[in-house]
Homo-oligomer: A and B are copies of this chain.
Amino acid sequence: MKKGKGYLIPGHFDEYIEEAKRFHGFAAPGLLVGGFMVSKAIKHFPAGVLYEVLCETSKCLPDAVQLLTPCTIGNGRLRIISLGRFALSLFNKDTGSGVRVFPNPAKVESWEELNAWYTKLQTKHEQDLSLLISQIKQAGEEILEQQPIRVKPEVYRKISRGPIVLCPVCKETFPAAVGSSCLAWQGKSPYVA
């Protein structure tokens, strides 16, 4: 197994749990289900084909992607579009074509503890975490569905931000294309003035 990247979950579940704790802080159920989702999607791509990833939620799933694939938020090969669906897509970086993987609620239903987590019927406090993890491991890819997708070009194409200049207000650099001052000084600052 390549340390931290490029392995598939089936057969490496316990190692993945350790990696998840180290990176994410704990072996969150979403990260474990996400691991099987990545493993299923990855099989769609022959070795050597460069793919990128789109996550439809920011919860847990992006960390499964960052642990198991070369795609990270910081290297631009992982995008998050928060649609609130627990789904991810891997797609060819040049064509946008690929595969979307998600849990099928009808299949999840037959695993009681897993279903209670997936449908948020239980609070974290009510969860039997060890039963939940063992059901995730047993169910594996069985609860997952996949479908072919094509990502819209405007979503996957990388656009250069062009030259950068000094902001006349904060004296830091910013992409000139956004205007005469940086976005923070155009009212988008996340800080209390």
B54→A75 contact, CB < 8 A = no
CB distance from A169 to the nearest CB of B (A): 11
Count copies of this chain in the complex.
Answer: 2
- Mark A86-113 against chain B: 1 for CB-CB distance below 8 A, else 0: 1101000000100010100110000000
Q: Tell whether A23 is near chain B: CB-to-CB under 8 Å.
A: yes
Number of interface residues of A (CB under 8 A): 68
Contacts A105-B172, A152-B191, A172-B87 known; A25 to B75 CB distance under 8 Å?
Answer: yes
Q: Tell whether A43 is near chain B: CB-to-CB under 8 Å.
A: no
B84→A74 contact, CB < 8 A = no
Chain A residues with CB under 8 Å of chain B are 3-5, 22-25, 28, 30-31, 54, 56, 58-64, 66, 70, 72-76, 80-87, 89, 96, 100, 102, 105-106, 118-120, 149-152, 155, 161, 163-164, 166-167, 170-175, 178, 182-184, 188-192
